[in-house]
Structures are given as C-alpha cells and as structure tokens.
Amino acid sequence: MRQHKSRSLLLILGIVTLLSAGSSQAQRENWARPFPGFRVIGNLYGVGSYDLSVFLITTEEGHILINTGLEDSTKLIRDNMTALGFDLEDVRILLTQQAHWDHTAAMAEIKALSGAAVYATPKDARVLDDGGFSDAHFGGRQTFEPVSVERIIQEGDRIELGGVTLTVHEHPGHTEGSSSYSMTIRENGRDYRVLIANMGTINPGKQLVVDPTYPGVSNDFAGTYSNQKAMEVDVWVAAHASQYGMHKKWQPGQAYSADNFVDPAGFVAAVERLERIYYEQLRQERDQ
C-alpha cells in the first residue's frame, strides 16, 4: 500500500511539474511575442510585448520610458514607438518598476541609443548597477547588462519633464526596490487618476518569514498591499499585461477611448487577491 501511494504521489508530482513547465514556456513566449503599441489614456502609451509591459509617457521636451523588457526588445519597442509617431532617441528618462531581468535587460542598450538618464529607488539601483547580481531572490549571477543610475528616487519624489509630473511610490516586496508611479491626466473635461502599478506578486520560491528571502520582506509585502488599497485610482496598468487584464480592456483595432482602462474596482480586487495569496503563504510557512 505504501509503495502504491508513493508511486501515485510521484505521478502527481510529475504531472504538476510538466504542467508548470508548459505554463512557464507559454509565459516566456508571450514575453517575447510582438504586440502593437496602443494608447492607454492621454499621453500614456503601451509599447511593450504581448505580456511584458513597457510604458511610454510623451512630452514636448522628450519622453519617459518605464521598463524595457527582454534583452532583444529594443527593436520591438522602437517599432511600436515609431508606429505611434514617436522616436526612441527622444527618450530622456528611463524608469523601472522592478529590477528583474525580464523588465530591465534592454535598458543599457536603450540608454546608449537615447542618452536617457536612469532613475531608480536605492535598492533597485544597486541591482541595476551590478546587472542583477545582488538581487535577493534571483541573484548570485549577472542576468542583464549592468546600467548606471543617474538619480536615486524615493517615496513621494516628483519626476518632472515637459509639463508632466510623476509621483514615486515605493511598493517593495516583489523586489526590494519595487516602485509604482502615479500621475493625473485631464481628458474630456475630467481628471483621471492614473497609476503605473508594481503589483505585490510573490515569485515561486520566495520565502516570507521562514528563512526569508531578504530581511523584512514580509513587512514589505504587507505595507505594499495596505498602501495600494488606500490609493485613489481611476486607471491602472501593471508590469505584466496579464496582471491588469490588458487583453480584455483593449485589442488591436479597437477605437481609442479615455474610458477603455478605467477600472478602480478591478485595481482593489487585484490587490486583495494578491494579499490573500500572501496570507496563505504565511500560514503555510508557519505550519511547516
């Protein structure tokens, strides 16, 4: 009987492993899969891949680019910007939401091409500077080309360019220096509160309280969920298209409307879902 149970368990684990591997492969394919650029609202555009978000904020004095995707994403980003009527060389500020290779690997190349200055939070700046080596979860080796940071940004800082003002929000947990950016966009006679949100997702293998991935990680996640739920948001986007339901809100060929991405209830629901996952992992770690 024990042998039968052991074989059954091994079979189940094998099936789960295969399903996870298949899901991971499909996910990575979507990270590199081209997707047309689109207007989110006002002067905020999406210029990334099918699932890896890259956001462009345009101004008359140059542009802000948030995230850069995989190492070979430069051409995809340039093509999307060109199709929307903008030039990659006009990027003046480069930001990241999280210093993981899937969001930063093309940053050094785009910086060299555009001459843009890189801004980052202190703990993500460290990771950018050493190419991912010091990342608490995926570090120990270089995972992307290192990039120097010209300006350290922190909670409440304002980033200004060409009449646009972004406010910095430190939302750590996913990385030690994860950040979101908020702005107000006026259109159709009303103000839209817009958030480029870094969501508090917990990568597989990350530990919260039992041998924590980094000191204070559990408190960082808890603080991020609390802070985000308290924010007043009309329009929100996130580092992955799948996180904010982009493909349900906009599809190629769809007419632009300032209301396409209005989703305040969806933002709260997304944060609360991640918070429930967090509490469940806390319980599992403490029950070990």
Confidence of residue 24 (pLDDT cuts 50, 70, 90): low
Instruction: Please report which helix (H) or strand (E) contains residue 26, including its range.
Output: helix 2-32
Average pLDDT over residues 138-142: 96
pLDDT tens-digit map of 238-258: 999 999 999 999 999 999 999
pLDDT tens-digit map of 91-118: 999 999 999 999 999 999 999 999 999 9
What is the model's pTM? 0.90
pLDDT tens-digit map of 53-82: 999 999 999 999 999 999 999 999 999 999
Domains of the chain: 34-287 (3.60.15.10)
Q: Is the backbone of residue 45 left (phi > 0), alpha (psi -120 to 50) or beta?
A: beta
pLDDT tens-digit map of 31-59: 989 999 999 999 999 999 999 999 999 99
Confidence of residue 25 (pLDDT cuts 50, 70, 90): low
Confidence of residue 288 (pLDDT cuts 50, 70, 90): confident
Which pLDDT belongs to residue 22? 44
DSSP E strands in the chain: the ranges are: 38-41, 44-46, 55-57, 63-66, 91-95, 117-120, 151-152, 158-161, 164-170, 179-187, 190-197, 235-238
Average pLDDT over residues 1-30: 48
